[in-house]
Structure 1
Amino acid sequence: MTDGKLAVIGLGSIGSMALWQASRLTDSVVGFEAQSPAHARSAVGGDTRLFRMLYRGTPSYYPILQRSRSLWAELEAESGQDILTRCGGLSIGTVGGPYIPSLLETTRLNGADHEILSREAMAERYPQHNLRPDDIAVYDPHAGALRTDRAVTAAVAAAQANGATVHTNTPVDSITETDDGVVVTSGDQSWTFENVIVSSGGWSQRLMPDYLKAATQTKRIFLSWFVARDAAEFSPDRFPIFIRISGDRSMYGAPTVDGVTVKATLDGRGAPTPKADSVPRDLTPAEIAETTETVTEFFPGLFPNIVRSDAFPDLFTKDGHALLGHLGESSRIYCATGFSGGGFKMASGYGEIAAHEALGKRSFEGLEFLRPERYKTH
């Protein structure tokens, strides 16, 4: 006898979605969360994450993004929550630089909807952005801002409504495969499940085999917010999400969700941190200086003073692609972690894949670049 068909360890961005999707397939699924879903120190902190269909490299992501977009709508319908603010998105960069040409190449391969905006068109439509003379933009009509806390809590609540059991404030100490299944221990308690999904983000390493520990690293992601001179100019109906890589400066952000502050954060600044539990929350003087200098140039409509900042842990792989799959052909342990700071937009799609594959309901092709086995040495 086991305590269930599936345990999901970690109910953050991917785990919450895997739990929700698994609850649609069986009423014998149990979620374990070390604190509570969407707790203040989890990788989903910071109000919003970007959803976009346009990106550079790895065309295989596009079907996952398409499915994720549909699933975000399903979660909204099922929960009655507004989760994806559909405000469009802008990718901004130098005409002949490393970003825009690569993004357009991938976009055309995928056949994704897009519109190229000249510097003049941007000045007319989105004057909030101060572009350099050689900058252009690519508009994504299907992009938007995901409300992370709402998404995670809605998915967990939907799973519970479907019959899933959730153990909060229950950190998992170990998982061990036996002839009977997978033993999950927390303190002096233990359970046995037919299958287990590990989706603990920055806390996943201690539950991994050595070859995956060596291929992953916990990093600190920091976020920053600014007050708008005129908040209406930065509302979702007038200010799309954005990613900008212009010469030596890069930044991404989202429209105001509180009617006052605007998220604008340096891109690609994740720094290694020893432990997910001890991420320094305060920005360094260098981070503050670069952030305010970039905002001063990019956004004249924002007061160039950081009014809010925070930092969160996430798990990164060596190649920047997630770990999605079983540890081996006969393993009952499934990894859904290591999303390298960019996984939330696809969390619903990743969660569906993880739930189906971990339960043996369906396998998905074309995901070799995500499988953990790529890090095995032969």
Structure 2
Amino acid sequence: MDGKLAVIGLGSIGSMALWQASRISGSVVGFETASPGHGRSAVGGDTRLFRMIFRGDPGLYPIMKRSRALWAELEAETGQDILTRCGGLSIGAADGPYITSVLETTRVTGAEHSVLTRQNMAERYPQHNLHHDDVAIFDPNAGVLRTDRAVTAAVSAAQDNGATVHTNTPIEGIEETPEGVLITSAGRSWTFENVIITSGGWSRHFMPDYLKAQTQTKRLILTWFVAKDSARFSPARFPVFSRVHQDRAMYGAPAVDGVTVKATLDGGGRPTPDPDAVPRDLTAAEIQETTETVTGFLPGLNPSIIRADAFPELFTADGHPLLGPLNEGSRIYIATGFSGGGFKNATGFGHIAAHEALGKQHFSGLDFLRPERFKTT
């Protein structure tokens, strides 16, 4: 036996699962195809939004609260500045489906928030060009996460706790045996008591057919713009935002580098069967829609894309992650399929995965995330 637990893929979720596992076990090993935080995975793109206000299943809220606390713990443990707390805005028509849905979820969760009228927004956040019926929901606990810094900090913390990390080691096979879980790479093999698969778009290689049928790798784009007045788009003056108007949706983050503002279409991406062959360049249609949306939403940005990239992400049929054993009693645990919304809760999901895979704690109320939910469809 080569260890109690192996974590396959040290990206957004895997890095956090490794860090959490290293806190409770001295026999943890991480495997990464390239290097932790490499720019071709879903970690790429420098930043992600952290929010406590959202639309969706209220069952995610306890994970969000745990994630917020764990981001602070990671910062304290590593000395890294990872989460910039700048607040967040959800913007849309007052009676539209987006704002209505966000408020419905927020009433159930009890998350701290305030509703800003169009006039309030004009006074506090004039960077946004609003329509006559637009309002915003302000989330005082929101902010922007530094993705590459977070992942590398978590892996380093895990190593400081005694975890072993194998980089440039693509895993080719994962098989349960009577002895444990056998994993192989380039003629080498290891056996562990348990394995967590956190390989994002590459996870489908190791899934049973019932999960392959319910998942799809998609290509997500990210775009950045230069502000005409960068001071107006600093974290102190420009919260993270998510905005929906009719058929246009966009989210973004302030200029954490003092220069570029992230403003990106939020449309769920397009199917890309091979995560190793994601088209990185934007199409003419993507460029046009992005620049048109930025021109209408944020006139303080120069409407020319200064930087763009694309990344693979694994989506599930219902939009909820896959978090749990592949089957009842299985030693293979899967934490993937976050459908474009996993990074903000990466610490919380990593905490759950590590504790459950090591048999330290079982978390209730997560049936809507368990892989076996798809066995009945």
TM, length-normalised to structure 1: 0.99
- Report what 2:362 is aligned to: 363
Deviations 1:57-112 (A, max 9, x none): 20001000000000000000000000000000000001111100110011011111
Contact 2:320 2:369 (C-alpha < 8 Å) held by counterparts = yes
Partners of 2:178 and 2:319 lie apart in 1 by: 34
Matches within 5 A, 1:65-104: 65-104=64-103
What does the per-residue CA deviation read over 1:118-149, in whole Å, with 9 as the maximum and x for residues that have no partner? Answer: 00000000000000001000000000000000
Question: When the two structures are aligned, how many residues end up with a matched partner?
Answer: 377
Shift of 1:377: 4.1
Give me the whole-angstrom Cα distance separating, in 1, the residues matched to 2:129 and 2:247: 15
Task: Report the counterpart of residue 342 of structure 1 in structure 2.
Answer: 341
Q: In terms of mean alpha carbon deviation, does 203-212 or 4-13 score higher?
A: 203-212
- Matched with 2:62 is 63
CA distance in 2 between partners of 1:102 and 1:147 (Å): 28
* d(CA) in 1 for partners of 2:115, 2:188: 57
> 2:221 maps to which residue?
222
- Write the distance in 2 (CA, Å) between the matches of 1:183 and 1:356: 21
Cα distance change of structure 1 residues 317 and 269 upon mapping to structure 2, 3 Å threshold? closer
Q: What is residue 320 of structure 1 aligned with on the other side?
A: 319
Contact 2:268 2:340 in 1 (8 A): no
Name structure 2 gaps, 5 residues minimum.
none
- Name the aligned partner's letter for residue 355 of structure 1: A
Superposition misfits of 4+ residues, deviation over 4 angstroms: none
Look up the match of 1:193.
Answer: 192
Give identity over the alignment, percent: 73
Residue in 2 that maps onto 1:351:
350
Q: What CA deviation, in whole Å up to 9, does each residue of 1:281-318 have, x standing for no partner?
A: 00000000000000001111100000100000010000
Match of 1:368, SS state, is coil
| Residue of structure 1 equivalent to 2:46 | 47
What is the Cα-based RMSD across aligned positions, in Å? 0.7
Residues 279-290 of structure 1 aligned to structure 2 (within 5 Å): 279-290=278-289
In the alignment, what sits opposite 1:36?
Answer: 35
Question: What is the Cα deviation at residue 3 of structure 1?
Answer: 0.0
Mapped to 1, the partners of 2:162 and 2:88 lie a distance apart of: 37
- SS of aligned partner of 1:73: helix
- The AA in structure 2 aligned to 1:221 is L
Structure 1 residues 245-254 or 84-93, which shifts more?
A: 245-254
Aligned to 1:250: 249
How far off is 1:269 after superposition?
3.8
Residues 139-170 of structure 1, C-alpha deviation per residue, up to 9 Å, x if partnerless? 00000000000110000000000000000000
Structure 1 gaps of 5+ residues are none
2:19 alignment counterpart: 20
Give the partner amino acid of 2:244.
I
Say which SS state the counterpart of residue 217 (structure 2) adopts: strand
Residue in 2 that maps onto 1:108: 107
Q: Distance in 1 between matches of 2:59 and 2:145?
A: 22
3-state SS, counterpart of residue 170 of structure 2: coil
- Aligned residue number for residue 375 of structure 2: 376
3-state SS of the aligned residue for 1:221?
Answer: strand
CA distance in structure 2 between the partners assigned to 1:92 and 1:376 by the alignment: 37
Match of 1:292 in 2: 291
SS class of match (1:289): helix
Q: Quick one: distance in 2 between partners of 1:110 and 1:206?
A: 36
Query: C-alpha distance in 1, partners of 2:108/2:295?
Result: 36
In structure 1, what residue type is equivalent to 2:178? D
For the 8 Å contact 2:184–2:190, the answer to whether it is kept is yes
